[in-house]
Structure 1
Amino acid sequence: MLSRGRSEMEFKTVHEMYRHWAETRPGLPAYYVKRQGGYVPVSWQAFGQSIRDFAVGLMALGMEYRDPVSILGLTRPEWDIADKAAMSAGGIAVGVYHSNTAAQVHHVVHHSESRFLIVENRQQWEKVRTIRKDLPHVKRFIVMDPWEGAAEEGLVSFEEVLDLGRRERPRHEQEYRRRFESVAPDDTAILFYTSGTTGPPKAAMLTHANVLAACEFMRDLKIFTAQDTSVLWLPMPHIYGRIAMIAGTYTGTVGYYAESLDKMIENLQEIRPTIFYSVPRIFEKVHSRVLSQAAESSPLKRKIFAWALATGLRRSRMLREGALPPRSLEWKYRLADRLVFRKVRQVFGGRIRILISGGAPIAKEILEFFHGAGILPLELYGITEVLGCTMNRPDRYRLGSVGPPGPGVELRLAEDGEILIRSKMVFKGYLKDPEKTAEVLSPDGWYATGDIGTVDQDGFVWITDRKKDILITAGGKNVAPQNIENILKTSPYISQALVCGDRKPYLTALITLDPEEMRKWAQAQGIEVSSLQEMASHPRVTDFIDSIVRDKNRELAQYEQIKAFRIVPEEFSQDSGTLTATLKVRRREVVKKYGHLIDEMYQA
C-alpha cells in the first residue's frame, strides 16, 4: 500500500474559499477574459460581487435551500459565476455538457431534479425547448446570451438575474447569509455525471470536503504557483475542467478564458501560459502537425529536424535517467533549440513550462517528443468519483506512468490488478443508486476504479487499460486495447482507432482518418477525392493505411498485432455520440454504429 500525508483543510466549503479570496484579494485579477480584441482582468471584488448577486437573484426567483441548479454551455465566466452562486445559496451545482443531445440533457436535468436550468445561448435552448414539457422540476430557465424573443419563451437573461440580485439584496441578505453558513463540508457541492462510455451516465455526489481535499492535493504537489498562468477551456461538467479551475484558484494560478477551441492557437499566442491543461487529443494533434510540417519541408530542413529531434530525445533520455548530459550534447541541444524546438514551444505561446495531460491515456512517444522539445509533460490520473489519484511531479516523473499516488492518497491493487483508491476525495456515492455505489465503494472507503494497472518498485503507477475494456482473445490472451490504439494514433494520418477482438481469433481495428493530413497526402499522390467518405473507400488510401498498420505492428507482440482493419467513412465526434466531451471514444456506441464493419473483418 502506498500513502502520502496531508495537512488540515483551511475552509469548510467551496464558496467560503471564494468569499475569502474576494475579501483578501479584492483588487487582484480573479481571471482574464477577451473583450474588444484584448484580454482584460476581472478583479476578485467584481467576481465575488457577481457570485453574490446571482445567488440572491436565484433566491428571488424561488430557489430553495439545497436546490440543484443545472448549467448547460461551454466554459466561460458566466458558467463559473452560476456554479459558485448555486453553492453559496445552499444549492448543488450540476454541469451539463454543451455537446449533449436533447435526450442526454433531459436525463441529467430530470434525474438531478434541478429547479433551475441555465443555458448558454439560442443553440442550446433549441435542444431544451423540445424537452421543456418533460422537465417538471424546473422552475425557471435562464439564458446567458439572450436573443430577441427569448423573454416571450419564458426565459430570464443572466444579466436580469444579476440585476434582480442587486435590487433584492436587502430583502434576502439575511437568508443568504444563513444558507451560506449552513452548508456543511459533507454536503453535496457538485453532481458530476459520468461520461457514459459503458452505460447511462450516473450522478457522482462530490461534497465540499471532497473538492477542497482535491485543492489541497494539487497544492501539496508543489507544482503550481501564484506566478503561473493557465488557459480555462476544459469542459466544466467534467472533473478535469472543474477541479483544474477551482484548484487553480486555491493555488493562486490566474486563468485566462479561451474564446473557443477553434481559436485556441490564436489565444495561446495572446495568453502565453506557463501551464496548459489538456486532454491527449490536443497534444496528439500538435505532435502530428509538427511532424507533418517537417515532412513537407525541403530536404535540408527535414534533415535538420530529424537531427534536432534525435538530439532532443537523447538529452531527454539522459535527464530522465538522472544523468548529466555532456557539454557537447548541451551545445548541440542549444542549436537544436534555436532551429526547431523554440518553434514548438511557440505553439503554446513561448513561455510554457509544463503540459498537463489527463482525461485519457496518452502515448509515451508523444510525451517524449515534448520533453525533448524542452517542455515538461506531466501525466495525471483522476476519475469522476475520486477526483485526484496520482500525478507526476517536476522532481519525480516517469514518462508513460501516471506518477506516484498524490498527497493524502492510499493506493493498492486488487488480486486481478484493479486499482483501488482511498482518500478524502472519494465521493459519497451515486445519486439515487445505492446498489451501484455498493458495487464500487467498500464499507471501509476503498473505491474500485475499474482501471487495471501495476506499481513499480519506485512507487510509480502504470495503467494498462479499463477492466471492462480488456479483450480476451479466443486463444486466451488478455489484451489491453488502449495501448495498441495509442500506438496507431501516433501516425499523423490516423485520427482515432478502436481495437476489437474479444473472444475472437485475432485483433482488428476501426480507424478514422485525419482529414487535413489525408487531404495533403492525397493531393501529393495525385488522388482526386471530394469527401472523407470517398477517401475512406479509395483503394490507394486503404493500401497506405495498411502500410502504416503493418509498420505499427512491429512494435507489438504477435498476439497484439492488428490482422484486419476498416476505415470508418467519418470522424468520431461528440455530435454523433461516438466521443465524450473529453474526446474519449465511446466504445459501446462505436461498436453499435459500426458493428457491420466489425462483422465483415471476421467473416472475411
Structure 2
Amino acid sequence: MQPATGLPERIRRHAELTPNTIALREKSLGIWRGITWAEYAEQVDIVAHSLAALGIGVGDRVGILSENRPEWLYADIAILSIRAVTVGFYTTNPAPEVRYQLVDCGAKVLFAEDQEQVDKVLAVEKECPDLEWIVYFDRRGVSNYDHPKLISYEDVLGNGVSHRSTHPDHVSNARAAAQPDDLATLVYTSGTTGPPKGAMLSVRNVEFSVAHLISGNWLISPAPGPTDVILSYLPLCHVAERAFTIWQNAGAGVVVHFAESLDTVTNDLAEVQPTLLFAVPRIWEKLASTVAIKAASASPLKRAASAVGRRLAEKCAAQRSANGGDHTAVSRICTALGYPLVFRSLQNKLGLRKVRTAISGAAPISPDVLEFFLGIGIPIYEAYGMTENSALATSTRLHRMKLGTVGEAADGLEVKLDEHTNEVLTRHDGNFVGYWNRPDATAATLDADGWLHTGDVGQWVDGTYLKIVDRMKDIIITAGGKNVSPSEIENQLKASPYIAEAVVIGDRRPYLTALIGIEFDAVSDWATRNGIHYTTYKDLSSKPEVVALVGRAVDDANAHFARVETIRKFRMLTKELDHEDGELTATRKVKRSALADKFADLIDDMYRGESR
C-alpha cells in the first residue's frame, strides 16, 4: 500500500508534474470548460487560506451543501489541507434535517450552493450555535441578503489571497503535518431506521480506499489513469460517489466532468462518453426502461430490428454469464450480428459506447438488468461496500463475473460471515474510526477484534463469491415462520420497465403483498399508445388498464419464486415517493416503517381478503 500522503498532497503532485493537463470539466453556456491541475491546486490553496482566515483549524468541521461542481472539490481538498474535517450535506435535505446535521457535527463554516440552500440554513441557523459563517457559491438572489453570517465565495477567495500574502507557509505547513489518524470526513448514514449518524473516516481509511481503487487489481482493470473520463452526477456527500469522483481523480488523474443536473444525465452521458461509469441500480434501471420505451414507440421496421436485437442480446448474455462475463464463440457471433443492427446505436444513445468499466453499487440490482446490459456489450461490475468500511468489501472482477453475487473480496481485505447469523463482517484498514459522538453505536458495529458488522445477511456461492441476501432488519418472517428476503422480490418486480418502486410487506403476516409505484415515463408512453387518457400521476396509476398492466408484471415476477415468496396482492401508490415527504432517504432508500404508517390503509386493505 502507498503511504498515507492524503488527497491534498496528491493534488499538489499532479499540479507539479502535469500542470497544464485537464483535471476537471464543467459546462458553461453549453460549452465544456476545462480546468487544469495547476488551476485546481491554486483554487484549493486559496480556499484553504480563506478557511484559515475564518478561524478554521485542526479538527474543525466544515460543511458543504451543494450539487456536484468544481467548488465542491476545491472546498473538500482545502478543508483537508488544513487538517479540518469535511461534512457533506444532501441538497435534497429539508431544513430540519440540515439543522440536525449542523448541530450534530458542530460545523463552524458551511458552503452553500445557492439561494435555495442558503434559505434552508437561514431558517435554522439560530438553532445551530456552532455555525459562524455561511459561504454561498451562487450570488443570484442572495447578494442582497443582509445577514452577519453570510459571505460570498468571491469575498472568501479575496480573504484567502490576503491571508496567503501574510501567512505564506500556513497551508503547506499544515499539509506537511497531516497524520494518517487525522479525521478526514464525516459521512452521514441514510437514516432508514433512525436519525443519521456521522461515520468518521480517517486519512488512513481514505488512502486505503484510494490505493485499492487505482491499483488495477480490483474493480477497475487495467488501472484507471489520465486518459479515463468520468461523469460526476450522484451526490458527493455519499461515500461511493466521493470515492469514484474525488478520490479516484486525486489518485489516478482521471478527468472529471460535472453533469449539469440529474435531469440532464442522459444528455451529458451522450456528450461526454465516459470510459468509467458508476451508477446506482435506479440509474441502470432507468436507462433500461428508456430503451424499452423507445423500442415500443418506434416504427414497425425499427421494432422488428429491436426484437431481433433483443433475442441476440439475450443469447449473448446467457453465454457470457455462464463464462465469467467473457465471450464465447456463440456470443461473439451474436455480437457481430447485433452490434451493427442494434447494439452500437443503443450504446451511442445511452452514452456508453466508450465505457470500459461500468459499475453498480450502493443497493441491490436485478440480475435481469445486468443481463440486459451484458447482452448489448456493457458488462456491469457490482461493488459491495458501505460508508463504514470506506466502500470496500467485494466486487465482481474481470473474467470472474457471477451474476446474482457481489463478487469476491479484494486483495488484502478480510470478509467472513458470522457463524450464527450469517451477517457479513469485514476487517481492513478501511474500517471506519466510529460514529461521531455515538460510542454505543460504534461498539455495536465495530467489535474488539476489529470486525465491522455490516448488518447485511450473506451467503457464499461457489466458495468465494458473496451473495447479499438482505439487510438483517429487513428480513421478513411470515406467520408461517418462513424467512423471506424482500429485496430479491422487489428487484425482480422493478425489472419491469413499468415499475419504479416496489415495497414488499408480510412480516408476521399470512402471505406477501406489495405497494407498487409506476415508472411514470414508461407507463405514460404505454397509455398514450393505447389511447388511455390521464391527467396526473395519481390518475394514471389508478386506471384499471394500468393496474392490469402492473398485475401482469407481478405475475411475471412471481414465476421466479416459490409460492410462499410470491406476491398475493398489491396496491398502487398514488404518488411518487419523495425524500421531502419522509418516504425515502436522501439516497432513495425506502423508509419501510414510514411507508407502513403512511399507507397503513392500503396495507390493511390487502389483508382483509379482498382481491387485487
Output the TM-score relative to the length of structure 1: 0.95
For structure 1, which runs of at least 5 residues remain unmatched after alignment?
1-7
> Do 2:49 and 2:170's aligned partners in 1 also have CA atoms closer than 8 Å?
no
Q: Report the Cα distance in structure 2 between the residues aligned to 1:225 and 1:115, rounded to whole angstroms.
A: 36
- In structure 2, the residue matched to 1:344 is 346
Q: Report the Cα distance in structure 2 between the residues aligned to 1:434 and 1:180, rounded to whole angstroms.
A: 29
- In structure 1, the residue matched to 2:184 is 189
Cα 1:559–1:140, aligned 2, differ >3 Å: closer, same or farther? same
Q: State the secondary structure of the residue aligned to 1:448.
A: strand
Listed one character per residue, the Cα deviations across residues 92-143 of structure 1 (whole Å, up to 9, x for unaligned) are 0000000001111011111001000111000111111110111110111100
Cα 1:178–1:284, aligned 2, differ >3 Å: closer, same or farther? same
Q: How does 1:458-537 map to 2 (within 5 A)?
A: 458-537=463-542
Q: Report the Cα distance in structure 2 between the residues aligned to 1:131 and 1:164, rounded to whole angstroms.
A: 26
| 1:198 counterpart (185, 189, 193) | 193
- In structure 1, the residue matched to 2:235 is 235
Q: How does 1:154-303 map to 2 (within 5 A)?
A: 154=148, 155-220=150-215, 221=218, 222-223=220-221, 224-226=223-225, 227-249=227-249, 250-303=251-304
Q: Report the Cα distance in structure 2 between the residues aligned to 1:326 and 1:97, rounded to whole angstroms.
A: 44
Q: Report the Cα distance in structure 2 between the residues aligned to 1:583 and 1:331, rounded to whole angstroms.
A: 40
Moved more, 184-193 or 38-47: 38-47
- In structure 1, the residue matched to 2:553 is 548
Q: Report the Cα distance in structure 2 between the residues aligned to 1:225 and 1:410, rounded to whole angstroms.
A: 24
Please report how far the alpha carbon of residue 172 of structure 1 lies from its aligned counterpart in structure 2 after TM superposition. Answer: 2.6
> Do 2:395 and 2:407's aligned partners in 1 also have CA atoms closer than 8 Å?
yes
- In structure 2, the residue matched to 1:34 is 27
Q: Report the Cα distance in structure 1 between the residues aligned to 2:522 and 2:597, rounded to whole angstroms.
A: 28
Listed one character per residue, the Cα deviations across residues 517-568 of structure 1 (whole Å, up to 9, x for unaligned) are 2222222333222111122333332223222212221111101111111101
Listed one character per residue, the Cα deviations across residues 149-168 of structure 1 (whole Å, up to 9, x for unaligned) are 44522311112111211122
Moved more, 497-506 or 55-64: 55-64
Matched, 1:138 2:131: yes
Listed one character per residue, the Cα deviations across residues 75-97 of structure 1 (whole Å, up to 9, x for unaligned) are 11111111111111120000000
Q: State the secondary structure of the residue aligned to 1:508.
A: strand
Q: Report the Cα distance in structure 1 between the residues aligned to 2:161 and 2:368, rounded to whole angstroms.
A: 54
- In structure 2, the residue matched to 1:57 is 50
Please report how far the alpha carbon of residue 498 of structure 1 lies from its aligned counterpart in structure 2 after TM superposition. Answer: 0.5
Q: Report the Cα distance in structure 2 between the residues aligned to 1:543 and 1:447, rounded to whole angstroms.
A: 45
Q: Report the Cα distance in structure 2 between the residues aligned to 1:207 and 1:426, rounded to whole angstroms.
A: 9
| 1:110 counterpart (63, 85, 103) | 103
Identity rate, percent: 37
Cα 1:469–1:206, aligned 2, differ >3 Å: closer, same or farther? same
Matched, 1:152 2:153: no
Please report how far the alpha carbon of residue 584 of structure 1 lies from its aligned counterpart in structure 2 after TM superposition. Answer: 2.3
Moved more, 499-508 or 21-30: 21-30
Moved more, 89-98 or 316-325: 316-325
The AA in structure 2 aligned to 1:125 is V
Q: Report the Cα distance in structure 2 between the residues aligned to 1:248 and 1:430, rounded to whole angstroms.
A: 25
Q: Report the Cα distance in structure 1 between the residues aligned to 2:535 and 2:11, rounded to whole angstroms.
A: 53
For structure 2, which runs of at least 5 residues remain unmatched after alignment?
none
Q: Report the Cα distance in structure 2 between the residues aligned to 1:496 and 1:255, rounded to whole angstroms.
A: 31
Please report how far the alpha carbon of residue 327 of structure 1 lies from its aligned counterpart in structure 2 after TM superposition. Answer: 5.6
Cα 1:136–1:392, aligned 2, differ >3 Å: closer, same or farther? same
Listed one character per residue, the Cα deviations across residues 555-591 of structure 1 (whole Å, up to 9, x for unaligned) are 1110111111110111112232322333222222222
Cα 1:330–1:175, aligned 2, differ >3 Å: closer, same or farther? closer
> Do 1:270 and 1:349's aligned partners in 2 also have CA atoms closer than 8 Å?
no
- In structure 2, the residue matched to 1:124 is 117
- In structure 2, the residue matched to 1:5 is none
Moved more, 386-395 or 46-55: 386-395
- In structure 2, the residue matched to 1:311 is 312
> Do 2:316 and 2:334's aligned partners in 1 also have CA atoms closer than 8 Å?
no
Q: Report the Cα distance in structure 2 between the residues aligned to 1:303 and 1:438, rounded to whole angstroms.
A: 59
> Do 2:64 and 2:110's aligned partners in 1 also have CA atoms closer than 8 Å?
yes
Listed one character per residue, the Cα deviations across residues 447-487 of structure 1 (whole Å, up to 9, x for unaligned) are 01001111222411111111100000000000000010011
- In the alignment of these two chains, the number of paired residues is 597
Q: Report the Cα distance in structure 2 between the residues aligned to 1:420 and 1:329, rounded to whole angstroms.
A: 37
The AA in structure 2 aligned to 1:246 is I
Q: State the secondary structure of the residue aligned to 1:212.
A: helix
Kindly indicate whether structure 1 or structure 2 has the higher relative contact order, using CA contacts under 8 Å at least 6 residues apart. Answer: 1
Cα 1:331–1:554, aligned 2, differ >3 Å: closer, same or farther? closer
Q: Report the Cα distance in structure 2 between the residues aligned to 1:71 and 1:581, rounded to whole angstroms.
A: 15
> Do 2:14 and 2:253's aligned partners in 1 also have CA atoms closer than 8 Å?
no
Matched, 1:21 2:14: yes
Q: State the secondary structure of the residue aligned to 2:470.
A: strand
- In structure 2, the residue matched to 1:334 is 336
Q: State the secondary structure of the residue aligned to 1:186.
A: coil
Cα 1:28–1:491, aligned 2, differ >3 Å: closer, same or farther? same
